[in-house]
């Protein structure tokens, strides 16, 4: 009964929603959360706290270091910027950390050719306990964001009920459109409903949100990347058809440049997010990022595939497993440890102006785990099967796997993006 009521509320609100024409390609930019979290101690850590200074410095680097010109144009705030509400109920930023206000920060971003994104929550509080947006505040807060000249709103779902979300997200979409300012709308709604039908109506969602979080928050580890990837490919028959220009699935931020991924794993995440037609939101310190991580994030072919105007999300077309690994050793991968599983993943993606036919990305990764109850599949034979698929004349292939010492061409060449071994943690 509750589910029926929630769906009815959402359908009633649906009539208020208009197409805003935004995010015809997956958005690209920088997001504060993964690297800087909710650090509000500007006395002890002035360079890294959530503050006007931090966002201005990141804006400078986006403009000066080539990011903006490659498409990384969004400068997105996350939780912990709010100072409260004034006497009229209007949101205000923390006066100490944002002394000039959000409109000043938006003007600064715009002066550099960037766009400003902001965060709020469809609930009584944000996830970190700051004032959220209740149903009676939706219209007022949408108008405030427009007056501040914000370009994107990410609306989280902590401290809310299913009924509040079913009313609140469509109401906010309509309120943003009613301001007359083009504000892209990023929703966390499906992630709070389990990410799948029947609780999530993706046809409805595509009329309300430009991008949406489907699943768990990413953490700074390879195991977190794999868990998100596994969930997306396990449910790709549901998720892949609903993505496209103006409405994107979001597997969460890029971890590249932080602490939890090896160099090879960082390249793998970039390739996988590329073929998933995912938003490319970095969340690292652009002031100190290494040259090799910049190379990964600024790879022009990765960006071109991700930003293809067709907007077709890739899908896994083959996954095979092998225990033991003698064929893997023959391929130059080295012998897997005892009870390790070698996995071959083939991801198919489409790109209109880059390729006239499907492209494939495949990866070979080692992951710890028991070999019990697994068939003795020959990895070499299955690599041959993948090669037959990819060499059939139906498309081109791009590798995202093999050993770093294999002599493979560097990530970014015309035929071979990169090769790496990804060790599970």
Q: At what angle are helices 2-14 and 162-178 packed, to 10 degrees?
A: 10
CA nearest neighbour of 420 among 368, 382, 363, 381 = 363
Catalytic residue among 217, 220, 285, 295: 217
Cis peptide leading into residue 122 (ω within 30°) = no
Q: Are the CB atoms for 222 and 265 separated by under 8 Å?
A: yes
**Distance, C-alpha 31 to centroid of its chain:** 10
- Diameter over CA atoms, the chain: 71
Q: Is 136 a catalytic residue?
A: no
The verdict on whether 217 is a catalytic residue reads yes
- Give, in degrees to the nearest 5, the angle at Cα 249 between 246 and 252: 120
> CA separation (Å) from 195 to 4, 69, 94, 200?
17, 34, 33, 6
Between CA 282 and CA 197 the distance in angstroms is 29
- Residue of 78, 121, 141, 156 marked active site: 156
Question: Residue 329 corresponds to which tokens in the numbers above?
Answer: 């050793």
The residues assigned a catalytic role are: 156, 217
């Amino acid at each position: 009964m509750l589910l029926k009521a929630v769906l009815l509320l959402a359908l009633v609100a649906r009539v208020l929603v208009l197409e805003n024409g935004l995010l015809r390609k997956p958005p690209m930019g920088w997001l504060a959360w993964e690297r800087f979290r909710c650090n509000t101690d500007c006395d002890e850590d002035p360079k890294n706290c959530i503050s006007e200074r931090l966002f201005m410095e990141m804006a400078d680097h986006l403009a000066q270091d080539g990011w903006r010109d490659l498409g990384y144009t969004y400068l997105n705030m996350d939780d912990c910027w709010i100072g409260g509400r004034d006497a009229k109920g209007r949101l205000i930023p923390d006066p100490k950390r944002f002394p000039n206000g959000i409109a000043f920060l938006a003007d600064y971003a715009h002066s550099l050719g960037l766009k400003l994104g902001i965060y709020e929550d469809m609930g009584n509080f944000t996830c970190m306990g700051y004032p959220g947006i209740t149903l009676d505040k939706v219209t007022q807060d949408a108008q405030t964001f427009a007056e501040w000249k914000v370009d994107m709103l990410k609306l989280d779902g902590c401290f809310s009920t299913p009924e509040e979300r079913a009313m609140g997200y469509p109401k906010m979409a309509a309120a943003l459109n009613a301001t007359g300012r083009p504000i892209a709308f990023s929703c966390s709604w499906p992630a709070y409903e389990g990410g799948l039908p029947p609780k999530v109506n993706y046809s409805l969602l595509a009329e309300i949100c430009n991008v949406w979080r489907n699943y768990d928050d990413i953490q700074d580890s390879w195991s977190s990347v794999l868990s998100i990837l596994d969930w997306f490919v396990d449910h790709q028959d549901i998720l892949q058809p609903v993505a496209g220009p103006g409405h994107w699935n979001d597997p969460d931020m890029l971890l590249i440049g932080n602490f939890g991924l090896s160099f090879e794993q960082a390249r793998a995440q970039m390739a996988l997010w590329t073929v998933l037609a995912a938003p490319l939101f970095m969340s690292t310190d652009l002031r100190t990022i290494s040259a090799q991580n910049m190379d990964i994030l600024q790879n022009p072919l990765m960006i071109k595939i991700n930003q293809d105007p067709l907007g077709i999300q890739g899908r896994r077309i083959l996954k095979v497993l092998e225990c033991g690994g003698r064929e893997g050793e023959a391929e130059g991968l080295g012998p897997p440890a005892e009870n390790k599983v070698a996995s071959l993943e083939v991801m198919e993606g489409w790109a209109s102006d880059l390729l006239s036919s499907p492209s494939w990305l495949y990866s070979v990764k080692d992951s710890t785990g028991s070999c019990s109850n697994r068939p003795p599949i020959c990895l070499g034979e299955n690599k041959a099967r993948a090669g037959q698929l990819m060499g059939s004349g139906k498309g081109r292939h791009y590798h995202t796997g093999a050993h770093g010492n294999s002599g493979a061409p560097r990530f970014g060449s015309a035929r071979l993006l990169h090769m790496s071994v990804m060790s599970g943690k």
